[in-house]
Amino acid sequence: MTSDRLIVGVGGGIAAYKACALVRLLVETGHEVRVVPTRAALEFVGAATWAALSGHPVTDSLWHDPHEVPHVRIGQEADAVVVVPASADLLARAAVGLADDLLTNVLLTARCPVLYAPAMHTEMWEHPATQANVATLRSRGAVVLDPASGRLTGADSGPGRLPEPAAIAAALRSLLRGKGRGADLAGLRVLVSAGGTREALDPVRFLGNRSSGRQGVALAATAAARGAGVRLVTANVELPMPAGVDVVRVGSAEQLRAAMLAAAPEVDLLVMSAAVADFRPAEVADRKIKKRDDGGDGPVVRLVRNPDVLVELVAARAAGGPAGQVIVGFAAETGDDEGSVLEHARRKLAAKGCDLLVVNDVSAGRVFGSDSTEVMLLFPDGEARPLPAGSKEEVADAVWDEVLRLRQGGHRA
């Protein structure tokens, strides 16, 4: 069981009630949690609630137990600080270094990872002043998640909704897992694909694959927790989406291709972890295909090749894409009479032309849908480096570590 000492700072906003669920979740997973609310936050949720959930006394005052110097000690002793909700006012005060209450003092004294989960109305989030404050905090190494889009206070909808507590907790876990890294992806734009495409056969049937999208979602979540701006293109993924990530949902290989090619020119790092169908039906019936009453065989389905999205992305980079862009592919392989998993993967890497290929051995149904995985990193110069078995988040962090090395002048295709 973990014993990280976490500070949950609570800003003044209606979304403060969601912080209650976050505190409970963190306590239940073994963390020692202390809540530091602002005075405005206590207008929404009282100190007694925070004390009961965290098991620690709660105050917003600099003058509570002054002999213990709480405005310095709390931040110094923390393993991580998460501010939820981070209001526009709180982001502004943190950006200019004000220290007019206990929470802003804690933010100034903390030398640990700091995560902000903003929540405010769309106009406030999009205002140049707020965006400048966010950029300032990110430049100093803090992780500021982008807010979710959805229903806000009253009838308003749009960007500014607080991410769900489980998504914030996942981002915090990523920060804790990589405390030595800091926000090392800050300022980088990341594009990740996840899931498995589906190719329509008729209005109710499709050809698909067994990809759950867990690894792609983990890649997006860990990149966001390390400070990157992330777009995640998901194909038929039924998982909670990570906090602070721009999600584009697609269904077919052609839809995924269009979304990836449209976004690729604007990104620094690109990871194709989605399982894209190699083939699709040549004809799609406009009505459900009926089985024959005479008991005969069903129709013969003619297949045609789908475009190779990864090859097209590599070609687009070569034709004038972003300088220094790193492209990573994924390969789910099984061995057969024509070669081993590694031999097939080497041929695939040569054909794709990407900078790194992450290879999964999926023999006997391994990997798909599991929370853990074991992969090999394959480089164009022939190096094959196995990673230790671990969670998909741990593998994602290892992939990003290698991608950063590639961007700084390591292996390149």
Number of neighbours of residue 381 by Cβ within 10 angstroms: 8
Q: Is residue 209 flagged as an active site residue?
A: yes
Residues shown for the chain: 413
Q: Tell me: the pLDDT tens digits for 322-366? A: 889 999 999 988 888 788 888 899 999 999 999 999 998 877 555
Number of neighbours of residue 111 by Cβ within 10 angstroms: 8
pLDDT at 405 over 90: yes
pLDDT at 393 over 70: yes
Quote the percentage of the chain above a pLDDT of 90: 68
Q: Which residues pair with 199 in a beta bridge?
A: 207
Query: Is 321 within 8 Å of 237 (Cβ atoms)?
Result: no
Residue 182 structure tokens: 């800091």
> Average pLDDT, stretch 174-184?
77
Greater confidence (279 vs 295) lies with: 279
Residue 214 structure tokens: 């867990």
> Average pLDDT, stretch 265-280?
96
pLDDT at 410 over 70: no
Residue 398 structure tokens: 């290892």
Q: Which residues pair with 159 in a beta bridge?
A: 149
Q: Which domains does the chain have, with CATH numbers?
A: 5-177 (3.40.50.1950), 189-407 (3.40.50.10300)
Query: Is 298 within 8 Å of 292 (Cβ atoms)?
Result: yes
Q: Which residues pair with 81 in a beta bridge?
A: 7, 114
Query: Please, what sign has the CA dihedral across residues 28, 31, 32, 33?
Result: negative
Report the C-alpha gap between 362 and 219 in whole angstroms. 19
181: closest CA among 149, 135, 228, 218? 228
For residue 267, the model assigns a pLDDT of 97
pLDDT at 411 over 50: no
Confidence of residue 261 (pLDDT cuts 50, 70, 90): very high
Query: Is 16 within 8 Å of 45 (Cβ atoms)?
Result: yes
> Average pLDDT, stretch 122-133?
96
Q: Which helix (H) or strand (E) holds 263?
A: helix 253-263
Residue 352 to residues 193, 347, 405, 407, 413: CA-CA distances in angstroms? 16, 9, 20, 19, 10
For residue 413, the model assigns a pLDDT of 42
**Following DSSP, what letter does each residue of 351-388 receive, concatenated?**
HH--SEEEEEE-GGG-STT-SEE-EEEE-TTS-EEEPP
Coil, helix or strand for 210? coil
Confidence of residue 66 (pLDDT cuts 50, 70, 90): low
For residue 412, the model assigns a pLDDT of 42
Report the C-alpha gap between 85 and 15 in whole angstroms. 6
Greater confidence (149 vs 281) lies with: 281
Confidence of residue 144 (pLDDT cuts 50, 70, 90): very high
For residue 181, the model assigns a pLDDT of 72
pLDDT at 7 over 90: yes
Greater confidence (156 vs 97) lies with: 97
Report the C-alpha gap between 356 and 412 in whole angstroms. 8
pLDDT at 368 over 90: no
> Average pLDDT, stretch 278-303?
86
> Average pLDDT, stretch 309-316?
97
pLDDT at 173 over 60: yes
Greater confidence (254 vs 320) lies with: 254
pLDDT at 2 over 70: no
Confidence of residue 399 (pLDDT cuts 50, 70, 90): very high
Report the C-alpha gap between 33 and 24 in whole angstroms. 9
Query: Is 89 within 8 Å of 124 (Cβ atoms)?
Result: no
For residue 253, the model assigns a pLDDT of 96
Confidence (pTM): 0.81
For residue 67, the model assigns a pLDDT of 52
Q: Which helix (H) or strand (E) holds 144?
A: strand 143-144
Mean pLDDT of the chain, nearest integer? 89
Residue 346 to residues 352, 358, 367, 380, 402: CA-CA distances in angstroms? 10, 11, 20, 8, 18
Query: Is 147 within 8 Å of 159 (Cβ atoms)?
Result: yes
Query: Is 93 within 8 Å of 139 (Cβ atoms)?
Result: no
Q: Tell me: the pLDDT tens digits for 379-391? A: 999 899 999 988 9
> Average pLDDT, stretch 176-202?
88
Q: 242-251, 275-284, 289-298: which range is least confident on average? A: 289-298
For residue 1, the model assigns a pLDDT of 37
The catalytically annotated residue of 133, 209, 236, 360 is 209
CA atoms within 13 Å, Cβ hemisphere of 165: 14
